Amino acid sequence: MSKHKTLEMLFLDELKDLYDAEQQLVKALPKLAEAASDPGLKHAIQSHLRETETHVSRAERAFALLGEEADRKTCAGIAGIIKETSKVLDDGFDGPVLDAGIIAGAQRAEHYEMGAYGSVITWAKLLGKDDVASLLGQTLAEEKAADQKLTSLGQGGINQAALTHAVA
């Protein structure tokens, strides 16, 4: 047996990382939704929480398709993003300024996930696991849509409101 690790091993390792990331986000998103003052932002986060719960289920189905046990590997990247975003919540920002910070943190998470899913999907295709690639492609599409929704909310008034928000 070769001592070299394979692309398939890397693929499974990254899938475990994403599985953990989604589970961490399921726990973190309710706190962001609660802190948001803009109704549209609150709704977008709550909606994405439901999608994220589906992402966890999809990852579990991907493991099943691969004949693997659904297993988590701690995703330090998402843990760090969650920690940074939580700090914004704890630093005394409020109203639209806090909402702008929530959008920034949520977009960091989306961009992290989009990069990771893009790689895992590419590797799944190379490994001939098109069923897994297709399944994870659904999640990637939802991550991209969530990112676009956050951009729209920020550009649609939250960032401007943050600029003019009076400091107490």
Give the start-to-end residue ranges of the domains of the chain: 7-164
For the domain covering 7-164, report its CATH number.
1.20.1260.10
pLDDT in tens, 21-77: 999 999 999 999 999 999 999 999 999 999 999 999 999 999 999 999 999 999 999
Helix axes 7-35, 76-90, angle to 10 degrees: 10
Let me know: does 158 contact 103? Beta carbons within 8 Å: yes
Q: What is the spatial distance between Cα 4 and Cα 9, in angstroms, rounded to a whole number?
A: 10
Verdict on whether the full-model pTM lies above 0.75: yes
